[in-house]
Structure formats: structure tokens, C-alpha cells
Amino acid sequence: MLFGYSFSDLGSILVMQGFSGLSLFSVLLLMALGLAIIFGQMGVINMAHGEFMTIGAYSIYVISKITEQYFPGFMAYYFVVAIIAAFVIAFTVGYFVEFLLIRHLYRRPLDTLLATWGLSLIMQQIFRSVFGGREVSPTLPDWLMGSWAPTPNIDIPINGLFVMLITLVVTAIVILALYKSRWGLKVRATTQNRMMAGAVGINTQKVDRMTFAVGCGVAGIAGAAFTTIASTGPTSGSTYIVDTFLVVVFGGAASLLGTVASAFTISQAQSILTFFMTNAMGKVVTLLAIIVILMLRPEGLFSSKVRK
Amino acid sequence: MNTLYDRWLGGRQGAIGLLLLALLIFIILPVFLDIYRLNNVGKYLTYAFAAVSLVMLWGHAGILSLGQGIFFGVGGYCMAMYLKLEASDPASTARQTTPGIPDFMDWNQITQLPLFWEPFHSLPFTILAIFVVPAVLAYIVGAAMFKRRVGGVYFAIITQAIAAILTILVVGQQGYTGGINGITDLKTLHGWNINTDSAKYILYYINGVLLVGVILLCRYILSSKLGRLLLAMRDKEDRVRFSGYDVSNFKIFVFSLSAIISAIGGAMFTLQVGFMSPTFVGIVPSIEMVILAAVGGRLSLIGAVYGALLVNYGKSAFSETFPALWLFLMGGLFIGVVMFFPNGLAGLYQTYLKPSVDRFLDKFTRKSSAVKPAVLSEKKEVAE
Amino acid sequence: MSNTDFVLAIEDLTVSFDGFKAVDGLNLYVDKNELRVVIGPNGAGKTTVLDMICGKTKATSGSIKFKGMELTKMAEHQIVRAGVGRKFQTPSIYENLSVFENLEISFPRGRTVFGALMFKRTDDVDQRIHEVADMIYLSDLLDKEAGLLSHGQKQWLEIGMLLIQDPELLMLDEPVAGMSVREREQTADLLNRICQDRSVIVIEHDMEFVKRIAHKVTVLHQGKILSQGTMEQVQSDERVIEVYLGH
Amino acid sequence: MINKTDSKVWRSIRAAIQGLTLSSVLIASAVYAGPPTAEVNTTGLAVTDDTVTVGILHSLTGTMAISETGAQEAEKLAIEQINAQGGVLGRQIKYIQEDGASDWPTFAEKAKKLLEENHVAAIFGCWTSASRKAVLPVLERDNGLLYYPTFYEGLEQSKNVVYTGQEATQQVFAGLDWVAKNKNAKTFYLIGSDYIWPRTTMKLARKYIETVLHGKVVGEEYAALGSTQFGSTINKIRLKKPDVIYAAVVGGSNVAWFKQLKAAGINGSKQTLLTLSVTEDEAQGIGGENLKGFYSAMKYFQSLDTPENKAFVAAFKKRWGADAPIGDVTQAAYEGPWLWKAAVEKAGSFDTDKVVKAEESGTITFNAPEGMVYLEPNHHLKTRLRIGEWRDDGQADIVYTSPYIMPNPFPKGY
């Protein structure tokens, strides 16, 4: 016996905790991916990133309502379409935000931080006046609900599995895009040397705008995933922003793989801890650990030393 | 050289600015506002401490802390703990399971006062703590980060995370902290009822005097070589380092200083509002403190005060009349200040008002204002 | 072996970034009052060597001894206080302070927090600042905002900010970059004057200038010493001609 | 749903118009002029010969706005109905509404304004304990009156406050008795949000379960306010297999909590869950499908089938629109103005001290939608507790009604 659980229990605890850690991991990672692209590649602190996630969540909600109203027969499949829509909408908004706001603030990271915070306030208020302050949640297709029980003690929620699937796919796409595609090449070139990139004929402005928009789009997908585990309110996204930033910084701003690794570490640590201590303490301990590690290793866990 | 005039008051410009501010705080507002509104102004002025601290830390030293709320809170909670202990004497808490301890502890099945509360029975200790605790906290955080050259964005994010942690802790450990409700129902300071009108007037004036005092102190520091070093560090850190200075020590110093200043504000907040709760120490208030400084002009100490007054007044005025509009306005404020008025009110004053003010003043004062370089450089900064 | 008679003794110094060895087993000795010029093609590791001497970059292995003190173990500000001054490639001065303040900040007193707070602008400070200002040809620009100086004047100002600390070893990274011919001559005189009572290491590309000042020249290539000696010796070295003077 | 807000706007506009016409008619038809002002108001309250001013203080903005909407709507309805019957002591009630903005100091600030600038005779308002705690010192200092509608943790009794919601013991014990008897529950899992109300409630519950029901608490935990991660909790529950999940989760967390329960296959048909924090208001946000078969312990449910309630529901829907849900707190808020009226008329004066004396006389009653309620000398109401079983349409079937329960804000031995 340990903590009053039998060892077989502890076994299933580990499985299920590991799993609920994984679903936290999914949301964190999807959020962090977008942020890592924006922060890591462009050095922009996007405090409104959470609100882009919220945009995604509300998109799902709206679409589910529309489907319910007009194409009830389509109910089972709408979610897949909705995810893409969530991406597109968040992407578009991000595109304009970059054009109107961000591009005027490059190389002033601390100022982008303040400006985007202001942006987040405005977006939250827009959500509130459009959708009302009450928490809303889309009607999920039935196949997303319920759970899968390999053993009587172990019980894995389907929506969790689904979210994880999305996460894997998106992560793969983003990483491929960044390291294999022409666009990725331009992005990395621009990050490393804006002037040279410009000199060799890369339209850095365009690259920046795309990068930012893609980052936001991914956040939109995060929102979509989020709706399957919790409800959506005007401030849903903002509750994740700090954790997300820690994930990115912890992973070493520049490297996406680092982001993945750190998202995994953090979410697992948190979920295991919250099982054995109180909710709040679990979180506190995790955050503290991150900060301490960051102090010992400011450049982040997984980034390599670079010549300055 | 005339140290008092030039260094403490900051030359003619500084002296005038300070005079006007003092006039506003000590005479105009008290005359024209009833005690209820004056008490609110007093509340706004406690945020001014945080704003001033950010002018030093962010404006001059280029270190953006998103955690000033932490120190504001530490100061506030220290004061609140003392007042709470005084308010929970056995007589007035007779109804509790354990009389003599704060009510919220009783509700959380705590049967005796936690050790770290004990010393807060003493007022001197409390006042000491208001200065020392934030300073030590800031020193630890600062030493850990600045020695390792963690700066800029990373510092901002980490301080924000620390703010988050503290909020979670305060809310989670409600047996010791009062949780989300905070420490409420505070009555007397060393036997003196802080809820009477006369008390509120007195507290308002104490607050004002402290604020002016802090501004003078900051002026003095900025006009010293230390002040010039801060600017130098902000712009060319390496050069300063390779001129034989241990940059981190200077950063730690200014961070700790800013922590103490904010804490004073927090303590005065508790005294004037009558309670303290986590809602004033978290992430959001911390960022709002930054915007106060930004609106005032991140390099102007006086500006910070006006920023605090203006934004907070706007907040309560607007949130009454057009609640929805207020958030838009606040958001717009952040964006606008960053994009169009990076030097805030002070900047506007420099560009539009100052010339005419100078002409006006020169009529009266014979001696042309021979401002010391320190002040000079600040001017240039602001005018940029 | 004893290397205490050298002001600076670098022994098999190596630094590598992700496997790339920017400096590779370097040995370098600088005498008292010597003016040493280090030349070499781009990426030869010249700047990196200076960075390591002044502590900006930490060595992977090897030792740097300054008057017998092991610099690799010391923090930047300690190295400076020990008497090593370093000028950066692009002039690094406080643009929005006056020339006077620039020099004042560099004045080696009140280097602790409270020292700086209590620092008084006494006559000796004033005097010293004017003295240095004269050396660097800026005496009538003392109240000018440093940002408004010409590129060459900025270079001088930065040199002045080092001189005022009276270091025993002065390291200058491309001091005449972007200077007019007239300014170059003035700078050459300046350097010749200041190396009377201290050692100086200069990194420079302009051969004419090097000729005018160098006591001894060290040629770096791919982090190693390619050749060393007087200007003439070096110039007659085929390997050097091949990798460097060749193009 | 996009036009949800329009409908909201419409509601308020319609409301405003109705309000105007209504009150104007009434002032004309005020039956008799009451006693002279000098007699009924010796402390300089805002009382004229034909009007008396009160304050309404709830959050219209911020995170709490949603929860508090119903309460302030109910208070306005009550005031209008009272005016329609001729007002209080022959005076029409006028109200000044202030926005607490979900921010505790703002509540204190506004309360101070209502009392010191507007000299209101009474304040109807507050929702969270935190806001009440913030207002309390102001009330006691300026000797004001507050009618507080929310069910809360108890442990408080101020002469300046009337608590129209249930204090913890009223909500907890009877409910536990019921599950123990009807579900013969022996093991309980306690989960709440991490603040004073759930903690106090659970403290009482644990004690009662262990000492009175001789049951076992197999788990007790608290989720950070606003947290949306219940994976761990649900896993623990699954391992402990409690007979009853006893929940007091609030706000946004509430939705995530029930959603994740459903996703984990824990639903009303398999598991008994009794919650203290779900009224019709929350049900709308959570969604009936996630609640079906779970139980709430409240003193009032909208579905209550009595003439008084039918009339109240009809009036409320007419006034505030058909889609407005009516929860426990809304109904409790509706009781506020009526109880105040009764107290004032018993005192024959608006003076706070006299009204308080009347309140403490133990004779103030009101035939509320929930049934007869009795204002006890300890400023709380003697009421009944009901257990509602949730349907998927967001309404609850009342499966149990307790006998009257004396309010006991300071339970001994707990």
C-alpha cells in the first residue's frame, strides 16, 4: 500500500494520470507551438495568444450551433470541418493584427508585450459583447463522448484520444513546414539575419505576416481541441497564457522540439503531482521547479549554445 | 553647486512640477472632494507608488517587471496581518471555536496562530517587515536572475510567473492568508480607528507625504552617477560591464528599491481601503501598474503619479457609465501609448506645453536654468 | 615555465562553439609597453581572442594569465579592475549622455552601488577628464551629446573612456574603422603616445595604419597563429601572403 | 445564439419602458399618503413624503455579472410589485443601481457611495462572500442595511445584514440525510472549489457524515477557482468508487467538471452526485445533457408547483423575458424587498435601528414563491430544503422537501 492505494491501483493511476497529463499536454503544446513560432522565430511576445485560442473555441461553438440548426444530419462529422475553420478564422485575424499592430513594433519585444496585452483586453470584451459572458460549449458529436475501458480500473476518455490525435498531426505538419518547406527556410533565414534575408530577395514583411498568422491559426486549433474538454468563456484563453509562455521559454525559445519536450515534461509533472497533493500545490510546485531550472539555465532546457 | 535645489528637486523644471503636484494633492483635491471621493483618490495614489517604482526600474534601468503586484501585495498583506491581529482580540472573536485568532483561520479549522503571524502583533516589526520582506524577496529573485544575465523578456515572463504562483498560494492557503476573500474587516491601527473620516483624512495626507518623499528620493538617486549608470546600462550594458562595474549588483539594487516603493504603496492601500485580497497582487494588477507608468511617461516620476490618477479615475468613472466601453478604452490605452505616445503624458508636456512654460518662467527668473547633465539627459530622453 | 615577465601570457587557449573551434590551441605573449597588432582574414578568431581575454566569452580550455592572474576564472568587471581595457569593434558609448558624462562614468571610482550613489564630481575628477579629453582631441566637445559626434570621434571617445581608467593592457578592435585619413594619423599618434606606459593589442585591417604603429604583428588564421614577428617578417612570409595579403 | 445579446438588449429596453409606465400609473394611484416623514425618518435617510430610495448593488460587469443578473432582476421585480401595492408606509420605492464590477473594493466603494451620498434606506445586493465581506465594515460604520441573497457558509451574523439565502447547515444536513436514506450511501467523495464557502460546507459535511450518518469520507479536495482540469480528481473518484460525490464547484470550473465527468462515463444513471452549487442558472451553462440524473440541494427550484411560485415565475418571465432562468438565489433575492417592507411597516419607521429591532422581533414572515419563510432573530431565514433531480432540459424535478430548518450560522461542535 502507498498513499492508501494498492499497487494495482497505483498502476492504473499511473496510466490514467499519465493520460490526463497527455490531454493537458495536448492543449499546452498546441498553444505553445503557435507561441514558439511567433516568439521563437519573430521575438514577438504575443500576450493575446490566449484570445486566439478562444477565437478557435468560439468558432467551433458557432459552427456546431449552425450545423445543429440547418444540417442536423451532418452533426457527426462537422467537428472535423470546424477544426479547419477554426484555423482559418484565427489565421485571418492574426494576419490583420500583424498588419495593423505587430509589424510596427518589431525589435521592441517589451512593447509588443504591452500592446498585445491591450489587444487581449479588447478581444475579450468583443467576445463578451458578442457571445455574452456565460460559458458556452458546443454540442459534441456522440462518438466524441464516452470513454474506452481496457480494464475495469482504467478508463480513457475518447475526446482525450481525439485531441491527442489532432495534436500529433498539427505538430508534425508545423515541424515539417518549418524545417522542410520553402516557407520554413525563409522564416528561419529571416530570424537569423533579417537584413541578409531581405538582401537575398526574401520579402521579410510577407514572411513575418505569414509566420504570425500561422502561429495564431495553430492557437485556433488549440481552441478547437479545448472545447472538447472544457467550456468556453471570454477569458478561457487568458488562463493558459502564463503556462504557455513558461512552456516556450522552458523549451528554449528557438527550438520547436524543445517546446514539445517541455510541454510534455510540464504537463506530466503537473498531472502526476496534482494526484498526490492538492490541485493548487501541484501547480505551484511545477511552476516553481520551472522557474528554478530557468534560473540555472536561462537559455532554456533544450536550446544549444550559440556564438554571439 | 546647490545640491538641494538641483539634485533633490531636479532643477527649476523639477521644482515646479513637484510644486504643482504637491498643490494638487495637498490642497486642491482635499478642498474640492468630499471624504468619500478623496479616499478613492488616496487609493489611486497608492498605485502611484507602484508606477513610480516602475519608472525607476523599467524607464531608467530598462528592466520590465510584470510582478510589481507581488511587492504591492507583500506590503499590503504585512500591514493587513497586523491590523487583523488587532481586530481579532479574544473579546470580539468570542463566538469562534478558537477565540483570539483571525476569523478565517477559525473557519479553516486552525486552532492556533501560525508562527509566522506571531511577530505581526508588534507594529514596529510590521513596519520593518513592509520594507525588509519585499527587499529580501526582490534581492533573491534579482540575484538569481541578474547574476545569470536573465533579462528583458525572460525577466518579464518569469516575474509574471512568480506573480501567478503567489496568487495561487495565497488563494490556496486560505487558512493562513484568508484565501480569495483576503484579509477583511480591519478596524484599528494601534488602537486608532482607521474607518473614521478624520482617520481617512490623516491617512490620505500621510500617503501624500510618503509619495512626495519617495519621488524626492528617486530624484536624488537619478541625479547621482548611479542614475546615469542606470541609463548607460539600459542602452549599452556591455560597455558598462567593461568599464569595471558589476552590472548585476546595480540591477539588483534598483529592483529591490522598486520592490520597497511598491510595498509602501501596498501598505497604504490596506490602511485606506480597509482590507487586502489576492485580486490586487495577481497578474492583471501587475500589468496595469506598468500601464500607469507608461501613460505617465516611463521616464517621468511626476508623470507616473498623474498616470496613476488619470487611469484609475477613468477606470471607475467609465466602468460606471459605459462598462463595456471601459475595457476597449483600457486596451486602446495600452496600444496607443506603445504605438503613438511612447513617452506618455510627460512626452506630450515636453513637446507641447514646456516651451511656452519656459518662456513664461524666463520672464520671472533672471538666471537661465542651468540644469545639471543628469536632468539634462533625462530631458533629452523624454523629448526624443 | 615562468611567464610572469610578460604582461599577458595566453597558453594553448581553445574555444569551440558546437564543435567549431574558433580559437584552437593558441599561444600568445605580450610584453610590457608593447604595441601588438593582430591581423588575419575574417573569421580567423581575432575578435574571439579579445572576447576571451576580457571575459566576454568563456574559454573551453587553456589559460590566460595577466600579470600572473588567471583571467579565465574572473568575471568581466574584475578583469577590468585588474587593468584590462577593451574597445569594441563598433564604437560603444552612451549616445544620450554628454562626452563629459561618458568619461565621468568610466572614471574608476564609485564602482559599487553606494559608491556610485555617493560619487562626487571633485576637482581631480574634473581635471582628469579634461586631461583625457585633450589626449583624444575632444576637449572642446565635452558638453556635446555623444550621439552627435562623428564616427571617428566616437572611436576616440571610447578609447578615452578606457584611458581614464589607466589600464595596463588596452585592447582595441579596429580603432580606425570609418575614420578619415587625417583622423587615422591622429589616432596613430594617440596610440603611439598611449603605449608609452602600457601594453596595447590592436586588431586592424588597414595595413598602412598597422605599419605606422605595430611593434610586433601576429597573424591569425582559423584560430591558430600563422606567423608572428615584425611587419617586414610577416609580410615576407609566403603562407601569410597566400591566405591573407594575397587577396 | 448570435442574437442572444440583442435579445438581452431588447429585454432591458422592454423592461425600462414597462417600468416607466408601470410606476407612473402607480404614483398617480398611490392609495393613501403615509405618516409624516419627520416621524418615519429621524436619521436623514433619502425619504420624502411620497418616495423612499433604496440601493441595488450587484456586478453588472466582469466575471460575476452573469450570476448576479437574475438577483438584481428579481429585486427590481419585487420593488415594482411593492410599489404597485402602494409602496412602503405609503411611499413609492425608488432604487439607485450601482455596479460592483466583480471587484470587491468596488463593492465597498459603491456601498459607501449609496450610504454616504445617496443615504439609501436599504441595500439589496452582493453575491459572493468576498463582496459581502468587503461591504460589511462600511455597513457597520454607516449603520446601513443589506439584504444578501446568496446561500453561503454562515459563520457570520451582523445586525446590519439580513441573509435571505440559506446558511451552510440548512443546505448540508438535510441533503446528506436524504442521500444516506434514499441511496443508502455510506462512502462520500467531497469536492469543491477552493474558497471559504465550499471549505466550510465540506467541513460541516465531513463532521456530519462521520458522526451522525456513521459514513466514511473517502476523499476531500478543492480545485483552484477557474481551473478546468479535473482529470486527476475523476481518476481518484474512479478508484475510490464512492457511493456519493458531494460537490460544490463554482463558476467556469463547474462546466468543465460536469463535462469531464460525462466524458469519463460518470453520469446520473451510474453514479449518485449531489451538488450544492447548481441552480437553474448554472444548469443553462453546463447543459442539461451533462447534468441529467444528478441532484442539487437547494431551497428553491423553478419547477416548484405552488400557486405563489407559478405567479412569481409568470411575473418574472413577463418582466424579464421567457428565456430567463430562475435559480435559488434569484428567488432569495426576490424575498429581500418584501422582507424589508414587512420589517419597515412593523417598525413604522425607516430608521435602521428600528427596522433592525423589528427584524429581530422574530415575527417577520413572507409568503414567498418557495413557501412561507420566517425571519429569525439571528437575521437568517427559517426555510425548507429541497432536492431536485436534473432533467436534460435544464429543469429539475423536486424529489424531496424537508421540514422547516432553523438557521444556525454558528453550529456548535463543527
Q: How many CA atoms lie within 13 A of A199 on its CB side?
A: 4
Highest mean pLDDT of the ranges B33-47, B163-177, C5-19, D331-345: D331-345
Strand pairing category for D295-298 and D272-275:
parallel
pLDDT at B220 (0 to 100): 92
Q: Which residue has the higher pLDDT, C206 or A7?
A: C206
Q: Give the pLDDT mean for A164-169.
A: 91
Question: Which chains, if any, share at least 3 CB pairs under 8 A with chain C?
Answer: A, B
Of C77, C80, C105, the CB nearest to B229: C105
Beta strands (DSSP E) in chain B are: 188-189, 192-193
Whether residue A132 is predicted with pLDDT greater than 80 in this model: the reply is no
Where do the structural domains in chain B lie, given as residue ranges?
A: 3-383
The verdict on a CB contact (< 8 Å) between C165 and B373 is no
D225 at interface of B, judged by CB pairs closer than 8 A: yes
pLDDT band, very low/low/confident/very high, at A49 (cuts 50, 70, 90):
very high
CATH superfamily assigned to domain D168-298+387-401: Response regulator (3.40.50.2300)
Question: Which chains, if any, share at least 3 CB pairs under 8 A with chain B?
Answer: A, C, D
Q: Which residue has the higher pLDDT, B337 or D227?
A: B337
By C-alpha distance, which of D174, D166, D159 is closest to D213?
D174
Q: Give the pLDDT mean for D372-384.
A: 96
Residue A196 lies in a domain: yes
pLDDT band, very low/low/confident/very high, at B149 (cuts 50, 70, 90):
confident
Residue A202 lies in a domain: yes
Q: Give the pLDDT mean for A262-291.
A: 85
Residues in B touching C94 (Cβ below 8 Å): 228, 231-232, 235-236, 239
Q: Which residue has the higher pLDDT, D21 or B216?
A: B216
Of A145, A230, A271, the CB nearest to D228: A230
The DSSP string of B263-299 is: HHHHHHHHHHHS-B-GGGTSHHHHHHHHHHHHHH-TT
Q: Which domain holds residue A125?
A: 17-237
State the cell numbers at B255.
529592483
Compute the distance between CA of residue B287 and CA of residue B58 in angstroms, rounded to an integer: 12
**Residue B60, SS3?**
helix
- Chain D nearest-CA residue for B193: D141
D133 at interface of B, judged by CB pairs closer than 8 A: yes
pLDDT at B173 (0 to 100): 87
By C-alpha distance, which of C24, C23, C30 is closest to C51?
C23
> Which CATH code for domain D4-165+305-383?
3.40.50.2300
- Chain D nearest-CA residue for B40: D109
Whether residue B33 is predicted with pLDDT greater than 50 in this model: the reply is yes
D86 at interface of A, judged by CB pairs closer than 8 A: no
D in contact with C (at least 3 C-beta pairs within 8 A): no
* Segment A220-271, tens digit of pLDDT: 999 998 888 777 888 888 888 888 988 888 887 667 888 899 999 888 888 8
Whether residue D355 is predicted with pLDDT greater than 90 in this model: the reply is yes
Q: How far is C79 from chain B (nearest CA, A)?
A: 8
pLDDT at D5 (0 to 100): 42
Compute the distance between CA of residue D197 and CA of residue D249 in angstroms, rounded to an integer: 10
Residues in B touching D96 (Cβ below 8 Å): none
- Chain B nearest-CA residue for C80: B244
Q: How far is B28 from chain A (nearest CA, A)?
A: 33
pTM metric for this prediction: 0.87
Per cent of chain B over pLDDT 70 is 90
* Segment D171-200, tens digit of pLDDT: 999 999 999 999 999 999 999 988 889 988
Query: What is the interface size between B and D, counted as CB pairs within 8 Å?
Result: 90
A in contact with C (at least 3 C-beta pairs within 8 A): yes
CA angle D115, D121, D126 (to 5 degrees): 65
Compute the distance between CA of residue D180 and CA of residue D170 in angstroms, rounded to an integer: 16
pLDDT band, very low/low/confident/very high, at D67 (cuts 50, 70, 90):
confident
pLDDT at D265 (0 to 100): 81
- What ipTM was assigned to the predicted interfaces of this complex? 0.84
Q: Which domain holds residue C114?
A: 8-245
D218-246 as b/e, with b when 16 or more CB fall inside 10 Å?
A: bbbbbbbbbbbbbbbbbbbbbbbebbbbb
- Mean pLDDT, all residues of chain C: 88
Cβ–Cβ under 8 Å, residues B162 and B74: no
Whether residue C148 is predicted with pLDDT greater than 80 in this model: the reply is yes
C18 at interface of A, judged by CB pairs closer than 8 A: yes
* Segment A186-221, tens digit of pLDDT: 888 887 777 788 888 888 888 889 999 999 999 999
Cβ–Cβ under 8 Å, residues D186 and D216: yes
Cβ–Cβ under 8 Å, residues A217 and A106: no
Our count of domains for chain C comes to 1
Q: How far is A291 from chain C (nearest CA, A)?
A: 25
Of B238, B253, B373, the CB nearest to C98: B373
Of B153, B171, B327, the CB nearest to A109: B153
B in contact with C (at least 3 C-beta pairs within 8 A): yes
Q: How far is B269 from chain D (nearest CA, A)?
A: 11
Question: Which chains, if any, share at least 3 CB pairs under 8 A with chain A?
Answer: B, C, D
pLDDT at D295 (0 to 100): 97
pLDDT at B218 (0 to 100): 95
Pick among A130, A235, A294 to test the B interface (most B CBs inside 10 A) = A294
Per cent of chain A over pLDDT 90 is 27
* Segment C32-70, tens digit of pLDDT: 889 999 988 887 888 999 999 999 888 899 999 998 899
pLDDT at B366 (0 to 100): 52
Residues in A touching B324 (Cβ below 8 Å): 125, 128-129
Beta strands (DSSP E) in B90-240 are: 188-189, 192-193
Residues in C touching B224 (Cβ below 8 Å): 116-119
pLDDT at B355 (0 to 100): 81
Our count of domains for chain A comes to 1
| Phi, psi (deg, nearest 5) at residue C229 | 150, -160
Compute the distance between CA of residue D358 and CA of residue D377 in angstroms, rounded to an integer: 9
Whether residue D29 is predicted with pLDDT greater than 50 in this model: the reply is no
Instruction: Name the segment(s) of chain D with CATH classification 3.40.50.2300.
Output: 4-165+305-383, 168-298+387-401
The DSSP output letter for B55 is: I
Q: Which residue has the higher pLDDT, B213 or A270?
A: B213
- Return the minimum-mean-pLDDT range out of A232-246, B276-290, B302-316, D365-379: A232-246
Whether residue C205 is predicted with pLDDT greater than 90 in this model: the reply is no
Cβ atoms within 10 Å of D62's Cβ, excluding its own: 20
pLDDT at B382 (0 to 100): 40
Residue C183 lies in a domain: yes
Compute the distance between CA of residue A263 and CA of residue A247 in angstroms, rounded to an integer: 6
Compute the distance between CA of residue B253 and CA of residue B259 in angstroms, rounded to an integer: 10
pLDDT at B102 (0 to 100): 93
Whether residue B245 is predicted with pLDDT greater than 90 in this model: the reply is yes
Of B36, B107, B180, the CB nearest to D130: B180
State the CATH number of the domain containing residue C34.
Answer: 3.40.50.300
pLDDT at B369 (0 to 100): 44
Q: Note the residue count of chain A.
A: 308
State the cell numbers at C59.
574559454
Whether residue C243 is predicted with pLDDT greater than 90 in this model: the reply is no
Compute the distance between CA of residue B273 and CA of residue D93 in angstroms, rounded to an integer: 31
Whether residue A133 is predicted with pLDDT greater than 80 in this model: the reply is no
pLDDT at C36 (0 to 100): 92
Q: Give the pLDDT mean for D218-223.
A: 90
Residues in B touching C158 (Cβ below 8 Å): 239
Cα end-to-end distance, chain B, whole Å: 28
Strand pairing category for C199-203 and C35-39:
parallel
Q: How many CA atoms lie within 13 A of A299 on its CB side?
A: 9
Q: Give the pLDDT mean for D359-374.
A: 95
The verdict on a CB contact (< 8 Å) between D103 and B195 is no
The verdict on a CB contact (< 8 Å) between B339 and A101 is yes
Residue type, D87: G
pLDDT band, very low/low/confident/very high, at D15 (cuts 50, 70, 90):
low
Q: Give the pLDDT mean for B176-204.
A: 90
Q: Give the pLDDT mean for B317-336.
A: 80
Whether residue C247 is predicted with pLDDT greater than 70 in this model: the reply is no
- Chain A nearest-CA residue for D289: A139
pLDDT band, very low/low/confident/very high, at B264 (cuts 50, 70, 90):
very high
pLDDT at D61 (0 to 100): 73
Of B236, B244, B245, the CB nearest to C94: B236
The residues with which C169 forms a beta bridge, in sequence order, are C84, C199
